[in-house]
Amino acid sequence: MIVERVSVAGVEVATGHFIDGVRVQSATTFEDRSPLDWDLKLADVARGGEAEAHAAVSAALEAFPAWAALSTVERQGYLHRLADLIDSNVERIAAVECLDMAMLEESLRLRVIGRGARNFRAYADLAVAYEARQWDSNGTHNTVLRMPAGPSAVITPWNAPFMLSTWKCAPALAAGNTVILKPAEWSPLSCSFLMDLVDDAAFPRGVFNMVQGIGSEVGAALVADPRVRRISFTGSPATGRAIGVAAAKNLVPFTAELGGKGPFMVFSDADLDAAAEKAALMYDDAGQVCLAGTRLLVESSCRDAFVERFTETAGRHILGDSRDPTTTMSPLIHPQHLERVEGFVNRAVSEGDRLVFGGHRLAANGLWFEPTLIEPRSNDSEIVQNEVFGPVLTLQAFETEDEAIRLANSTPYGLSAIVYTSDQAKADRVASAVRAGTVWVNCFLVRDLTAPFGGTGVSGIGREGGDYALDFYSDLKTYQVKEGTTHG
C-alpha cells in the first residue's frame, strides 16, 4: 500500500513526486532512513523512472512559454512569495532535514534553511535589476538580451539538500525557465516539503516540478531527455562525468559543482589560535562539506604550536544527536558512507600513513566517526589525493611559500582554499597562485550570493552565483539595429 504522507519530526511530508502541480506516486518505492537512528525508517519514497522523468519534462515544457513570457517583476512576485513561505516554515524544514540528513538542527534553523529563502529573493531581485549591456559600434546599436533557455534539470546531492537545491532552482526560475528538481535519494524529504510550499505559493502548474528516485534511474532519464535545455548538477565527479556525457549528446549546457580537497594553509605569521579554531570547524557536519579545507598545510616553523592548538580545539567536538544543541558533530549520512570513510582511514594506516588522532567509528550501531587527523607518508598517499567527505584531515608541513603553493595545487581538485596569514602581500600572492574557485583568507564559508561559485579541475565545470547563474540559465542574444534607420 502506498502511503501518500508521513509524519517526520511531527511534520507532514509527502512521499510522492510533484509533477504538473500535483503529487504523483510510482509503482515502486525506496526506503529513506534516519542517520540519527538507522533503525528508524522515515518513509517509503516514490521511486521514479523513465515514465516519471518524461512526465515531468513534458509538464515543464508545456508550462515554459507562459512562464518565460512573464516579466521579471511578475516572476519576482512568485519567488518572493515562496521565500516568505520558507521563512515562516524554517523550524519545520530544519526538523525534517535534521532527521533525514543529520545536519545539526540549530545550524539548519539559524543559518542554512534561511539561505534557501534568501536564494529565491536574491535571484528574483537580480533578474529584475538586470541592465542589458548596450553600446554603439560599426554603425549599429547593440544590446545583449537574456532569453530563457527552457526546461532545466537540477540534480542535487544529499548534503545540505534544501539549501543546495534552492541555490540552483532560484536562478533557473528567475531567468524564466521551468524546473525539474531531482533531490538525492539519501535525503529526499526537505525538498519534498519545498514542493508543498511551491503549491501554497500558487506557482502555475508545471513551472516547478520534482521527481524522486535513484540517480541511475530517474536522474539518468532526466538528463538524457533532449527537451531539457539546461542541466545544473552538484555531486561527485564520477556522476558529473556521466551527466556531462548525457549533456554532450544533446548539446545542452551544463554546470557541475563537484567534490573538493581544499588546502588549509597556515603560515607562521598567522593568528594560530584563530587558525586552529577555524580548522576544527572542518569536522562540522561530520566533514561532509565539499568546500572544507581538508589538507592542513602548515609552515614548519609553527607546525608544533599549531598542532597543539588544533588537537585541543578538535578535541572539544561533541559527537551526538544532531537535535541536541550541545552536539557539535553529527553522524555520517549512511552506513555505506561510513564504511567508505573508514576504508580510507584503514588503508592509509595500513599503507604507512601516521594516525595522529581519531580514526575510529564511535559505536557499533551508530554512524558517528571520530574527528581524525592523519600525517601522510607522502603527498601521493591516497588520503591526500582523494576526497574522503568525512571527518578526516591530513597534516603536511612546508618550508617555503613556493612549496606551500605547490602542495596546494597538487591534487586534481580545485574547489576552495583557505589561507591563514597576517601578511596582505603574501595573501595576495598565494590567492592568485592557488588553483581554486574560491579562496578565503583568515575566514571560511563567507558567501556573497552575487559572487561566482564553482570549481576547477575535477571540482567542476562552469560557474553559478549572481549574474553568472542568470547568464547560465539564459541564452544570450545580441540584438543590433542599424543606426538612423528606426525612430520612435
Closest approach of ligand NAD to the CB of residue 290, in Å? 3
Look-up of cell digits 563537484 = 258
Closest approach of ligand NAD to the CB of residue 460, in Å? 6
Of 260, 310, 289, which is closest to residue 420 (Cα–Cα)?
310
How far, in Å, CA of 312 to CA of 316, rounded? 7
Look-up of cell digits 534561511 = 114
* Measured CA distances, 174 to 34, 204, 390, 441, 472 (Å): 33, 14, 34, 32, 12
Closest approach of ligand NAD to the CB of residue 133, in Å? 28
Which three cell numbers mark 304? Answer: 608544533
Judged by CB under 6 A, the residue of 25, 72, 159, 330 near ligand NAD is 159
Closest approach of ligand NAD to the CB of residue 244, in Å? 10
* Measured CA distances, 181 to 5, 108, 166, 350, 470 (Å): 19, 21, 10, 42, 17
How far, in Å, CA of 397 to CA of 10, rounded? 49
Of 8, 36, 41, which is closest to residue 333 (Cα–Cα)?
36
Judged by CB under 6 A, the residue of 156, 165, 190, 327 near ligand NAD is 156
Contact 171, 146 (CB under 8 A): no
Distance of CA 231 to the CA centre of its chain: 15
Q: Mask: binding to ligand NAD, 256-285, rule CB under 6 A, as x and -?
A: -xxxx-------------------------
Q: Which CB, 155 or 302, lies closer to ligand NAD?
A: 155
Q: Which CB, 225 or 257, lies closer to ligand NAD?
A: 257
φ, ψ at 124 (rounded to 5°): -60, -45
Q: Which CB, 148 or 219, lies closer to ligand NAD?
A: 219
Interior CA angle at 293 toward 413 and 376, to 5°? 80
Q: Which CB, 276 or 392, lies closer to ligand NAD?
A: 392
Judged by CB under 6 A, the residue of 216, 301, 336, 378 near ligand NAD is 216
Scanning residues 351 to 390, which ones bind ligand NAD (CB under 6 A)?
387, 389
Q: Which CB, 227 or 429, lies closer to ligand NAD?
A: 227
Tell me whether residue 443 is one of the annotated catalytic residues.
Answer: no
Q: Which CB, 118 or 406, lies closer to ligand NAD?
A: 118
Q: Which CB, 85 or 417, lies closer to ligand NAD?
A: 417
Contact 204, 63 (CB under 8 A): yes
Closest approach of ligand NAD to the CB of residue 158, in Å? 4
Q: Which CB, 268 or 456, lies closer to ligand NAD?
A: 456
Judged by CB under 6 A, the residue of 112, 170, 223, 470 near ligand NAD is 223
Q: Mask: binding to ligand NAD, 225-244, rule CB under 6 A, as x and -?
A: ---------xxx--x--xx-
Closest approach of ligand NAD to the CB of residue 333, in Å? 8
Scanning residues 395 to 424, which ones bind ligand NAD (CB under 6 A)?
415
Closest approach of ligand NAD to the CB of residue 469, in Å? 13
Contact 371, 317 (CB under 8 A): yes
Using CB under 6 A as the binding rule, whether residue 255 contacts ligand NAD is answered as no
Q: Which CB, 161 or 376, lies closer to ligand NAD?
A: 161
Kindly name the residue from 97, 257, 342, 387 that is annotated as catalytic: 257
Contact 75, 67 (CB under 8 A): yes
Contact 418, 262 (CB under 8 A): yes
Using CB under 6 A as the binding rule, whether residue 215 contacts ligand NAD is answered as yes
Closest approach of ligand NAD to the CB of residue 259, in Å? 3
Kindly name the residue from 98, 191, 290, 302 that is annotated as catalytic: 290
Using CB under 6 A as the binding rule, whether residue 157 contacts ligand NAD is answered as yes
DSSP, res 332: P
Name the residue number minimizing CB distance to ligand NAD: 215
* Measured CA distances, 103 to 72, 163, 254, 485 (Å): 35, 12, 28, 61
Closest approach of ligand NAD to the CB of residue 92, in Å? 23
Q: Mask: binding to ligand NAD, 284-313, rule CB under 6 A, as x and -?
A: ------x-----------------------
Q: Label residue 181 exposed, middle or buried (CB < 10 Å: 0-12, 13-18, 19+).
A: buried
- Determine the size of the site formed for ligand NAD (CB under 6 A): 30
Which three cell numbers mark 378? Answer: 607522502
Q: Mask: binding to ligand NAD, 170-199, rule CB under 6 A, as x and -?
A: ------------x-xx--------------
In order, the DSSP letters of 63-124 are HHHHHHHS-HHHHHHHHHHHHHHHHTTHHHHHHHHHHHH---HHHIIIIIHHHHHHHHHHHH
In order, the DSSP letters of 179-213 are EEEE--TTS-HHHHHHHHHHHHTTPPTTSEEE--S
Which three cell numbers mark 475? Answer: 541564452
Tell me whether residue 191 is one of the annotated catalytic residues.
Answer: no
Scanning residues 32 to 91, which ones bind ligand NAD (CB under 6 A)?
none
Residues that are catalytic: 257, 290
Give the footprint of ligand NAD on this chain (CB under 6 A).
Answer: 155-159, 164, 182, 184-185, 215-216, 219-220, 223, 234-236, 239, 242-243, 257-260, 290, 387, 389, 415, 455, 460
